[in-house]
């Protein structure tokens, strides 16, 4: 017959060390130090349940942390009911987590963004406790002011009528958003040249709806002639530029929302 795994309580010294570790994790997220978050994980550490995809390995956590630290975000992670136990020679923990966050300068819209659990596994590395795996499990769906209702109305946008910002000469951009996705509308004039590849944690769908563009994605080169689309996975270096003599229209779709592009959506009445 199968046996029930033996669960034992950690000693006080271990409990205090783990509590210090998880408190430091929350502090770095909330005080602009997410780019150092990977230091609190083992080399094969995992951060699971975080959209748009799970983070596997210290390098992936580091890349996400760099993008997170660049966001104009205020957050507070409130963690309670920390339950620790040994099981099969591994130290496990469960925390209740409530996350408040705001992407506005006056820190409005601070209703809880997430209420749920963190399920952790810890490992001792060179005498210091580190997170081997953290799994985020949402316990409740938290309503937000932008939730759709029976009274929601459709909105039409003329792409030529949207307010644009000039990123560089020959490249102008605008954006629209919904509750779950953000779309940038990019116009490229003939002769515009890229400054080279960049990468981010967001998955990206890039459509070419007018003209033609050359995309450099990792080690691949794609020439897209309208209508066409390329999928760019998060973390993969990429860049693009128009080819030919025709003005190019490129539309990029990001899901979940890219908060760093929210200022482009203020024309919709959203606060960035």
In SS3 terms, the chain reads as CCCCCCEECCCHHHHHHHHHHHHHHHHHHHCCCHHHHHHHEEEEEEEECCCCCCEECHHHHHHHHHHHHCCCCEEEEEEEEEEEEEECCEEEEEEEEEEEEECCCCCCCCCEEEEEEEEEEEEEECCEEEEEEEEEEEEECCCCCCCCCCCCCCCCCCHHHCCCEEEECCEEEEEEECCCCEEEEEEECCCCCCCCCECCCCCEEEEEEECEEEEEECCEEEEEECCEEEEECCCCCEEEEECCCCCEEEEEEECCCCHHHHHHHHHHCCCC
Whole-angstrom distance, CA of residue 148 vs CA of residue 136: 25
Cα atoms in the 13 Å half-sphere on the side-chain side of 227: 2
Give 41's contacts (C-beta < 8 A, 6+ positions apart): 47, 58, 61, 130, 131, 132
Task: Look at residue 3 in the predicted model and tell me its pLDDT.
Answer: 56
Query: For each of the chain's 272 residues, which pLDDT tens digit applies?
Result: 555 555 578 899 999 999 999 999 999 999 999 999 999 999 999 999 876 678 999 999 999 999 888 887 888 999 999 999 999 889 999 999 999 887 766 666 566 778 899 999 999 999 999 999 999 988 875 444 444 444 456 778 888 788 888 999 999 999 998 877 899 999 999 999 999 998 887 789 999 999 999 999 999 999 999 999 999 988 899 999 999 999 999 999 987 788 788 888 888 865 43
Phi-psi region of 53 (alpha: psi -120 to 50; beta: other; left: phi over 0): beta
Task: Look at residue 272 in the predicted model and tell me its pLDDT.
Answer: 38
Task: Look at residue 255 in the predicted model and tell me its pLDDT.
Answer: 78
Give 156's contacts (C-beta < 8 A, 6+ positions apart): none
Task: Look at residue 159 in the predicted model and tell me its pLDDT.
Answer: 82
Task: Look at residue 149 in the predicted model and tell me its pLDDT.
Answer: 45
Q: Residues for the chain: how many in total?
A: 272
Task: Look at residue 111 in the predicted model and tell me its pLDDT.
Answer: 65
Residue 228, strand partner residues: 208
**Which two three-digit tokens encode residue 6?**
């033996």
């Amino acid at each position: 017959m199968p046996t029930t795994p033996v669960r034992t309580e950690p000693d006080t010294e271990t409990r205090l060390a783990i509590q210090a570790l998880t408190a430091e994790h929350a502090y770095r997220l909330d005080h602009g130090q997410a780019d150092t978050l990977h230091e609190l994980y083992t080399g094969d550490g995992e951060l699971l349940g975080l959209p748009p995809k799970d983070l596997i390995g210290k390098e992936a956590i580091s890349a996400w942390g760099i993008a997170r630290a660049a966001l104009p975000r205020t957050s507070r992670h409130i963690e309670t009911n920390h339950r620790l136990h040994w099981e099969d020679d591994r130290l496990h923990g469960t925390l209740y987590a409530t996350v408040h966050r705001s992407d506005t300068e006056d820190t409005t819209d601070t209703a809880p963004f997430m209420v749920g659990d963190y399920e952790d596994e810890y490992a001792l590395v060179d005498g210091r406790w580190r997170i081997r795996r953290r799994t985020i499990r949402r316990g409740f769906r938290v309503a937000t002011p932008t939730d759709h209702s029976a009274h929601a109305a459709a909105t039409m946008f003329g792409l030529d009528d949207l307010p644009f910002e000039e990123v560089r000469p020959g490249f102008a951009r605008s954006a629209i958003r919904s509750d779950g996705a953000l779309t940038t509308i990019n116009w490229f004039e003939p002769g515009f040249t890229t400054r080279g590849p960049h990468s981010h944690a967001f998955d990206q769908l890039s459509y070419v709806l007018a003209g033609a563009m050359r995309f450099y994605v990792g080690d691949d080169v794609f020439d897209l002639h309208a209508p066409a689309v390329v999928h760019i996975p998060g973390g993969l270096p990429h860049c693009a530029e128009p080819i030919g003599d025709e003005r190019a229209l490129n539309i990029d779709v990001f899901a979940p929302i890219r908060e760093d592009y929210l200022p482009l959506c203020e024309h919709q009445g959203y606060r960035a």
